């Protein structure tokens, strides 16, 4: 997708990042993927043996390139979560594959990057209690299902109630917003929710899915946030996490505005804010 090339170019050009701020993802060990995904599903995916029905549901044609890309995205989020422990914040410039379930892919998501990294951190004893803040406009249904019976990972999803996925899973906290929700209302709800959540959950690590498909210009989003509102959302989340001294891994998630410049600008704002707040 074009945005994955344009976004780093923009960040380098304007000096928000320099080359040394980037890392190359590595393929993760299969055992970390299988700590989240059913091994039968994962190895069928890896060996290009998913059924036609399973493939149709994902929205992608199954290919070697797709398998490698999804594994690299998961590896990138694992590595970013380790960097977040070191620096306070780190990003996967892709990721946010929150529609991937334990045993199936859906909605252009095959492997759930933040779920895999969350289990990885716990297995390595780098984190105990994890909070996933999913503000992509689509519900994090796969993430909700994966951690349904796991009290050590709290899933929070704020999304468009009438948007895809039409059959929603139960996150630990779901806030479903009506179509056309404006920035003011959106930010009011977020600001009422997040501090309370941090006090109750007491996480030691946070994953943030900062999808920009909440924008009014988005083709799929159905909400009505301006670019400024979306920036204020990210500022509030990142500043609050910084105030609570919580390390955060940020995956990009969706963004389908008609004009690519709106997508890149909104994603770039998340990086600009990270520089401003954390460094
Ligand atoms: Zn989305």
pTM: 0.97
Residue 156 forms beta bridges with which residues?
133, 173
For residue 60, pLDDT over 90 is answered with: no
**pLDDT tens digits along 165-183:** 999 999 999 999 999 999 9
Q: How far apart are the CA of 160 and the centre of ligand 1, in A?
A: 10
For residue 1, pLDDT over 70 is answered with: no
Q: How far apart are the CA of 254 and the centre of ligand 1, in A?
A: 4
Q: How far apart are the CA of 225 and the centre of ligand 1, in A?
A: 14
| Among candidate residues 111, 17, 114, 130, the one with its CA nearest the CA of residue 66 | 111
**pLDDT tens digits along 8-43:** 999 999 999 999 999 999 999 999 999 999 999 999
Q: Distance between CA 76 and CA 93 in Å, rounded?
A: 9
Residue 54 belongs to what domain range? 3-278
Cβ-contact 136, 254 below 8 angstroms = yes
Q: How far apart are the CA of 125 and the centre of ligand 1, in A?
A: 31
Encoding tokens for residue 175? 């806030």
Q: What is the DSSP letter of 27?
A: P
Beta strands in 76-181 (DSSP E): 89-92, 130-134, 153-160, 173-177
Task: Kindly report the CATH number assigned to the domain that includes residue 28.
Answer: 3.40.800.20
Residue 231 buriedness (CB in 10 A; 0-12 / 13-18 / 19+): buried
Helix (H) or strand (E) holding 16: none
Q: Distance between CA 233 and CA 205 in Å, rounded?
A: 19
Please list, in sequence order, all residues whose beta carbon lies within 8 angstroms of the beta carbon of residue 7, skipping any fewer than 6 positions away. Answer: 93, 252, 264, 267, 268
Encoding tokens for residue 50? 């998913």
Q: Which residues are catalytic?
A: 99
For residue 155, pLDDT over 90 is answered with: yes
Q: How far apart are the CA of 213 and the centre of ligand 1, in A?
A: 6
Q: How far apart are the CA of 99 and the centre of ligand 1, in A?
A: 9
Residue 162 buriedness (CB in 10 A; 0-12 / 13-18 / 19+): exposed
Q: How many domains does the chain have?
A: 1
Q: How far apart are the CA of 58 and the centre of ligand 1, in A?
A: 14
Q: What is the DSSP letter of 138?
A: S
Tokens 């955060």 label which residue? Answer: 248
Q: Are strands 130-134 and 205-209 parallel, antiparallel or unpaired?
A: parallel
Q: How far apart are the CA of 248 and the centre of ligand 1, in A?
A: 20
Percent of the chain with pLDDT over 90: 97
**pLDDT tens digits along 218-232:** 999 999 999 999 999
Q: Distance between CA 111 and CA 11 in Å, rounded?
A: 27
**pLDDT tens digits along 185-210:** 999 999 999 999 999 999 999 999 99
């Amino acid at each position: 997708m074009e945005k994955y090339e344009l976004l780093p170019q923009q960040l380098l050009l304007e000096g928000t990042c320099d080359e040394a701020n980037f890392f190359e993802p590595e393929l993760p060990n299969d055992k970390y993927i299988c700590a989240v995904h059913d091994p039968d599903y994962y190895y069928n995916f890896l060996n290009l043996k998913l059924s036609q029905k399973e493939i149709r549901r994902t929205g992608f044609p199954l290919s070697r390139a797709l398998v490698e890309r999804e594994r690299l995205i998961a590896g990138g989020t694992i590595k970013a979560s380790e960097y977040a422990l070191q620096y306070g914040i780190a990003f996967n410039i892709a990721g946010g594959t929150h529609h991937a379930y334990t045993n199936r892919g859906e909605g252009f998501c095959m492997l759930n990057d933040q779920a895999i990294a969350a289990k990885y951190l716990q297995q390595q004893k780098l984190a105990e209690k994890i909070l996933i803040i999913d503000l992509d406009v689509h519900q994090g249904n796969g993430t909700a299902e994966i951690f349904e019976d796991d009290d050590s990972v709290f899933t929070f999803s704020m999304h468009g109630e009438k948007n895809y996925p039409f059959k929603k899973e139960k996150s630990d906290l779901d806030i479903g917003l009506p179509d056309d929700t404006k920035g003011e209302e959106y930010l009011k709800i977020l600001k009422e929710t997040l501090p309370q959540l941090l006090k109750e959950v007491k996480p030691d690590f946070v994953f943030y899915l900062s999808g920009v498909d909440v924008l009014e210009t988005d083709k799929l989003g159905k909400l009505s946030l301006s670019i400024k509102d979306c920036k204020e959302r990210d500022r509030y989340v990142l500043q609050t996490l910084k105030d609570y001294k919580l390390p955060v891994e940020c995956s990009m998630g969706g963004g389908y505005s008609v004009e690519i410049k709106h997508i890149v600008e909104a994603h770039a704002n998340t990086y600009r804010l990270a520089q401003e707040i954390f460094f």
